[in-house]
Amino acid sequence: MLNTIRHGLPTDRPPLLIAHGLFGSARNWGVIAKRLSTDRQVVAVDMRNHGDSAWHDTHSYVDLAADLAQVIGDTPHDVLGHSMGGKAAMVLALTDPTRLRRLIVADIAPVAYDHTQAHLIAAMRAVDLSGVTRRSDAAAQLMQVPDDGTRSFLLQSLDTADKRWTLNLDTLEAEMPKILGFPDLSGTFDGPAFFLSGAESDYVRPEHRATIKALFPQARFARIPDAHHWLHAEKPREFEAAVRAFLDV
């Protein structure tokens, strides 16, 4: 079972499960999860090979979807997934649709991408953790990652007390082709689906819409102005409002 952080109490509304993206964790979603828990329980998970969840030798989307199904159990949830978590949520919807009521996919499409994240794994591996007592110590060694936001994001997965990354870098590197890809699946998810993207992101392009609609016939689309791939972190209020509007229909 994945490590979970639960916000709020069960109500008469379906619980909302949140699946984070590559190198993320349930804790990254704490503020939004807490705000969305005012009228339902919100369950944020650490995906396998991330955070406090178990490490495995595999990281396929079929594996990730099965992990989410185990957390959901027999009570259908609404499911929100960002990036890698969005792909896992889509695979769950296509392979085990009775687990979901509504699907929200944040800034990702059911297609293969070619922007490998292996360079970030190399950057994390290059940090000498032996003398690190604070995240700022590691930040100084991560300067090969030029973007301040990405650097700060990666450092959230550093356990300074145990001097380790809470990421299974070996498996994530080995399985990167699967993470960047998307499995060839038949069938459709005929429930409500919402594809919410950052207006400044190129992850969900106009040419992806036909593929999305073929798999998710009820798909609706929206973009958050001035937001990039981490739209929930850059525009949390706008992101929350869009999610609520879709869930409250």
Active site residues: 83, 170, 229
What is the β-pairing status of strands 219-224 and 193-198?
Answer: parallel
Question: CA 74, 76, 82: angle at the middle one, nearest 5?
Answer: 120
Output the six-digit token pair for 27. Answer: 């804790």
Alpha helix locations (H) across the chain? 30-36, 61-72, 84-95, 118-125, 135-139, 148-155, 169-174, 176-180, 209-215, 231-234, 236-247
Distance (Å, whole) CA 136 – CA 210: 45
The secondary structure of 51-76 as a DSSP string is: TTSPP-S---HHHHHHHHHHHHTTS-
User: Which of 97, 57, 117 has the alpha carbon at shortest distance from 187?
Assistant: 97
DSSP SS3 for 126: coil
